[in-house]
A and B are shown apart, each in its own frame.
Chain A
Amino acid sequence: MSEELNLIWLEGQDCAGCTISAKQASNPTLIDVLTGAIPGLDNLKLVFHPTLMFDWGDDATQILVDAMGGKYDPFVLILEGAIPDEAKADPGVFCVIGEHEGKLLMLSDVVKSLADRCAAAVAVGTCASFGGIPHGAPNPTGARGLLDYLGKDWTGALGLPVICVPGCPPRPDNIVQMLGHAVLAARGLAPLPELDEWHRPVEMYGHLMHELCSICGFYAGGVDAHNFGDTGCLGALGCKGIITHCNANTWADGYGGCTTIGVPCFGCTHPDFPDPPTSPFFAKAPAMPFIIENIKGMLAHSEMGYQRLKPVIEQMMPMLPEFIEELEKLMEAEKDKGRKI
């Protein structure tokens, strides 16, 4: 049995959608993880989760206070939802996550305190990663994601930076598989997850939606849809798959998937969601990525065509003078035809 490891899941400026998404994961399911059914992912304790935990009120906040005092070390900190700028809230508050001994537990304070002790920190969803919907212009609460709040240079006790699992919400399996990967890495059973410049795991967000799109053959074939429900590439209807790193060509258990069922990608995993370039949602994506892709595509197609035709061409080379001669004869014959009176 593995050594005990605690999970502390906080909800900030959130909608609980990431929690609801995590409940749909299949490989493994959230239950598999919480009941310890998977080797290496056993002996995990979800000590705090506002939507799932039994305790409430002071019993719940006591856990947070104890965690900040070190009682639940080692633990992985999971954040769902954005972190507001409380200075902007004066004279009110934007996000309180509990009350303890008659005092407010501010989300921003608790995150900072727990981040100082945690083994690793995972931001689940676009809000927790980059600010998401609350961060949408004009960002009335000064909302930020964990990456911005703790900084790109921050590392947890294990030496890992903030791991971002974006999506509104992220694909169910992305959440649970990434948590699983973080735990396995924390226990020395797996390599550290490779992250891109936005701290997204490459294993899930390494490709553009456009590259993984299940109907991208229509794009390649030049078939555009101009009405919802029509067969064709959704680019003209506003698809942002060309600028969005995502693997949601199916949602869970093989069902759904945005472009798969005919819905343009709205870029919900994008760091700028829901602002430009992901919005207006039904306006075409910026032209430049398409232009670059088309030039790349033309060159690549020429190269692919050349490689495939090369043997034929090489075979034809010795016959070329004879072939040209034949062609000239044909041309002459054509000229004669033209002179008829």
Chain B
Amino acid sequence: MSFLDKLKGGAKKEEEAPRAAGMSGGERELTIEPITRIEGHLGVHAKIDTGARKIKDAYAYSPMFRGFEVILVGREPSEAVMISQRCCGVCPVPHATSSVTACDQAYGVTPPPMGTALRDLVLGAEHLYDAEVGVVNLEGPDYSEVAMKKFNPAWWGEAQKTKAEHSAVHGFATVADIMTALNPLAGELYLRSLLVQKDGHNMAAIFGAKHPHVHSFVPGGIAKLDLSMTDLESYLTLLMHHVAFTKELVTASDDLLNFVLEQGYEDVGARDLNLGSVGSYNDPTAYSAVYEEMTDWGRKRLISPGIILNGDLVTTDLVEYNVGVREYIGSGWYEEQWAKEFETDPAGNALEYEHPWNKRTLPQPGKYGDWASKYSWVTAPRWKNWKGDGKDYSLEVGPLARMWVTAKAKLVPESTGNSLKFELPAALIPGFKYADSMAFEWKIPAKPNAVERVRARAYFHAYSAYCMLQLSMKGLELMKAGKTKVWTPYEKPQEGIGFGMSEGMRGACTHWCVMKNGVIDNYQYQAPTTWNASSRDPAGNSGAYEEALIQSPITEAGDPAGWKGIDIVRTIRSFDPCLGCAVQVHIGNKFVKHDLVPYAVPL
């Protein structure tokens, strides 16, 4: 008897008591699976108080698993650069960047400045495509005319009367016109975004060979043959398309999202102010890959590393970040028996038993619905404030977190302490609506919520374009100085450990590698979505998705029995989930369903 037959036969009882009816008293249970327009397979199970129009409880889970970590063990660490990025075809480059950084460190090799600069030009190119696709093509349809008429008809009437403040830039007279432009496969912004995003991939291909899944990242630098001015000129040409487009994207997003906030959306998807960023875009001459020098080269990144707890910036030190990371498996289906291999990090700081350099992944499948102990494949990453109160914190990562940290940290000239100020140059390019230069200021918002996550993503598109302009100029400087070497040859050691970190579109992406006998002995990674989709930790605290959903208000119109959960999907999509990333890390993933049987498909 196959597993499926067993499940079909064994679950008869539950079938007779369907929970699909969903309504009882003032409470509605709503299961949304699949949540579409995200990367990967994700479902949400929510309990809604229909009287108070609030979400009482929520579980996010994903039912797909491939087992990357098992595939990595025993291979060359440099192969992890190629394989680990393949967990996700939407955001592979941060994985490649973090993985190759961990390899640089484990092999003890520093890439030449040009090698470092070219890697970051590829990473920035991916951010540019990814940010606009997220805002316009994945999240945009939730605020489109189609969605408004279906779920928030009162807003649609209001939007038709509301003039768009920046119509001189983006050309849309009213907020309703912006919503129409976001209609899937028909709206002007939706379609143009699909064309402009191609430039991001092409920029990445210039130095990455292809995208998704770039092939040029190697320990010690980058594999780029005959680097010349023609490559940088091609890159800059495509970059200016993004510079032109971001002026429309940011102003249209501001007008749309300000309107949504005015409709009472402040608390939808809101959560506590605990944010994390590992920073990105190295200073090519400062990056050494050396662990003990990480504090310095980390702080020189164009996007700052740092951790905000309860609203306060507690650190901008990457060593402090690394030492504080823990990954609990308390609520996950894993064994906890392994030897603590590393007492300290290379700088001599004590490491915990649950630190990724110590942690092993030992899966031990269990039964569903055992809520009291183990119910999930997803572990719970937490950051221990080891120099402060010693408590564990559940961090939110993503564009909102890194913009917040960078604005607060004052490590870059654009940071004012409460905003990020920068300017993009003029660019008259046919097909784009606004040719003048434009000054941008992203201000730290009142709280993290669904709307502000989307807004931060749009502003990050502009900031990323700004950083890539700076980095391209740095590339020209290096060319002029004759520093065109892209790779440092090395003697590969037999043993080594490495920690690699960069910001993916969705947030902090960190890899830990332990090499023994020249091959991978242990490889652990925490993707951005590992943090955001984290399950409950041993203390019972939720991850960011669940926190953002619980107590979130419902604005959806119509009879509660017919609710489709637009506010839930807007909240979840504001994080821009990437389950492919989160899932591979745990050889599987969170599965919380208790009474599910396979649907009998017609054969």
Interface positions of A (Cβ within 8 A of B): 11-21, 23-24, 26, 29-31, 34-35, 50-61, 65, 68-69, 82, 84, 86-87, 89-106, 109-110, 112-113, 116, 133-134, 136-138, 140-141, 143, 168-169, 171, 215, 225, 227-231, 237, 248, 251-253, 255-258, 260-264, 266, 268, 274, 279-282
Q: State whether B67 touches A134 (Cβ < 8 A).
A: yes
Q: State whether A51 touches B79 (Cβ < 8 A).
A: no
B84 CB to closest chain A CB, in angstroms?
10
In the bound complex, residues from chain A placing their C-beta under 8 Å from that of B207 are 261
Q: Which of A18, A92, A255 contacts B205 (CB 8 A)?
A: A255
In the bound complex, residues from chain B placing their C-beta under 8 Å from that of A260 are 209
Residue pairs across A and B with Cβ atoms less than 8 A apart, 17 shown, are: A13-B64, A15-B88, A16-B580, A17-B86, A50-B41, A54-B147, A60-B36, A90-B6, A92-B333, A104-B599, A134-B66, A141-B67, A228-B222, A252-B202, A256-B211, A262-B225, A263-B215
Nearest to A80 among chain B residues (CB) is: B89
In the bound complex, residues from chain A placing their C-beta under 8 Å from that of B79 are 274, 279-282
Additional 4 contacts, C-beta under 8 A, given A15-B92, A52-B36: A21-B212, A96-B41, A274-B79, A282-B218
User: In this assembly, does B65 line the interface, its C-beta being within 8 Å of a C-beta of chain A?
Assistant: yes
Q: State whether A56 touches B35 (Cβ < 8 A).
A: yes
Q: State whether A227 touches B588 (Cβ < 8 A).
A: no
Q: Which of A97, A262, A263 contacts B41 (CB 8 A)?
A: A97
User: Can you list the 10 inter-chain pairs with the closest CB atoms, starting with the nearest?
Assistant: A17-B89, A262-B225, A256-B205, A140-B67, A96-B63, A57-B32, A99-B33, A103-B599, A15-B89, A228-B487
Instruction: Encode contact with A along B583-596: 1 for CB under 8 Å, 0 otherwise.
Output: 00001100101011
Q: State whether B39 touches A229 (Cβ < 8 A).
A: no
In the bound complex, residues from chain A placing their C-beta under 8 Å from that of B70 are 138, 140
Secondary structure call for the A interface: loop
Q: State whether A280 touches B76 (Cβ < 8 A).
A: yes
Q: State whether B66 touches A13 (Cβ < 8 A).
A: yes
A127 CB to closest chain B CB, in angstroms?
9
8 Å CB interface, B531-583 against A: 564-565, 569, 580
Q: State whether B185 touches A169 (Cβ < 8 A).
A: no
In the bound complex, residues from chain A placing their C-beta under 8 Å from that of B412 are none
Q: State whether A262 touches B66 (Cβ < 8 A).
A: no
In the bound complex, residues from chain A placing their C-beta under 8 Å from that of B149 are none
A260 to B64, CA, bound (A): 36
A147 CB to closest chain B CB, in angstroms?
19
In the bound complex, residues from chain B placing their C-beta under 8 Å from that of A16 are 39-40, 88-90, 580
Q: State whether B225 touches A261 (Cβ < 8 A).
A: yes
In the bound complex, residues from chain A placing their C-beta under 8 Å from that of B587 are 140
Known interface pairs A16-B580, A31-B195, A262-B223; A96-B602 also in contact (CB < 8 Å): no
Q: Which of A21, A30, A101 contacts B89 (CB 8 A)?
A: A21
In the bound complex, residues from chain B placing their C-beta under 8 Å from that of A90 are 3, 6, 365
Nearest to B572 among chain A residues (CB) is: A56
In the bound complex, residues from chain B placing their C-beta under 8 Å from that of A136 are 71, 83
In the bound complex, residues from chain B placing their C-beta under 8 Å from that of A95 are 41, 63-65
A262 to B40, CA, bound (A): 32
Q: State whether A51 touches B38 (Cβ < 8 A).
A: yes
Q: State whether B591 touches A92 (Cβ < 8 A).
A: yes
Q: State whether B78 touches A19 (Cβ < 8 A).
A: no
Q: State whether A261 touches B216 (Cβ < 8 A).
A: yes
